Structure 1
Amino acid sequence: MKARTRALALSATTLLAGAFLAAGASTAHAAPENCTVSVSGSYASSYCPSGSGQHQVAITVLHANPSVGYVYNVGPWQPAGATSTAYIPPGTIISLRVNKR
C-alpha cells in the first residue's frame, strides 16, 4: 500500500512540475529587421519586412512655433510586415527613427 501511495505522489509531482515548466516557457521574439523609414507629405512611416516582434515610427520635431519647442510623436505598434504611420507636426524634423520590441 505504501508503494502505491508513493507512486501516486511521484506521478502528481511530475505532472505539476511539467505544468509549471510549460507555463514558464515563452516563444522567442526576434526584433523586426531591415526596417526603413519614409516621409510623405505630413506623415512618416516605418516598415519592417522581417522578424516576429513589433515596431513603431517615432518622430521628434522642433515646432514651427518657437514657444512650443520640441514635439514628439509616435505611430501605433505594428507587427513586422505592417506599416506604422504618424503625423509630422509643422516644423523641422530633428529625429526620425524606428522603435522595436
Structure 2
Amino acid sequence: MNVRKWAATAFASVLATAGLVTATASGANAWPTECSYQLDPIPGEHGISSYCSSGTYQHRAVVMESHHYAGILAIDSPWVPAGQTSYTRIPYHPILSIRIDTR
C-alpha cells in the first residue's frame, strides 16, 4: 500500500472513531426529569426548593408573586445539577405560580 492510500485510510479511521465517540457521548445526556418542588421545606423559613432525581443538566424553582407596589415579582433559586436540591428564600407575598425550569 502506498503512503498516500495508507494516510487516507488512517485519517478515515480516526474520523469514524471520533464520530462514534461523539454519538455515544451525546446519547447519555438528558434533561432533568422526575422533578418536584416543595414550599417551605425548612421550618421557620419561607422558601421554595426544587429537586430532579435524574438527568444530566440543571434545574431551578421559579416563583411568581404579586406585590402591591412592584407588581409581579419573579424569584428564582440557583441553577443546580440534577440530583441536588435548589433552594431560595422568598418574601411573604401572594403566590401566583410556581414552576421548575430546566436547561
Larger radius of gyration: 1
Measure the CA separation in 2 of the matches of 1:60 and 1:4: 69
Matched with 1:36 is 36
The count of aligned residue pairs is 97
Measure the CA separation in 2 of the matches of 1:79 and 1:92: 29
Are 1:4 and 2:2 an aligned pair?
yes
When normalised by structure 1's length, the TM-score is 0.76
Matched ranges for 1:76-87 at <5 A? 76-87=78-89
Unaligned 5+ runs, structure 2: none
Matched with 1:67 is 69
User: AA paired with 1:83?
Assistant: T
CA shift at 1:100, angstroms? 1.2
CA shift at 1:57, angstroms? 0.7
Measure the CA separation in 2 of the matches of 1:61 and 1:72: 6
Question: How much is the aligned-residue C-alpha RMSD, in angstroms?
Answer: 2.2
Which structure 1 residue ranges, 4+ long, deviate > 6 Å from structure 2?
none
SS at match of 1:89: coil
Matched with 2:55 is 51
Identity within the alignment, %: 31
Unaligned 5+ runs, structure 1: none
* Change over 3 Å in CA distance of 1:81–1:62 after alignment to 2: same
CA shift at 1:87, angstroms? 2.2
When normalised by structure 2's length, the TM-score is 0.75
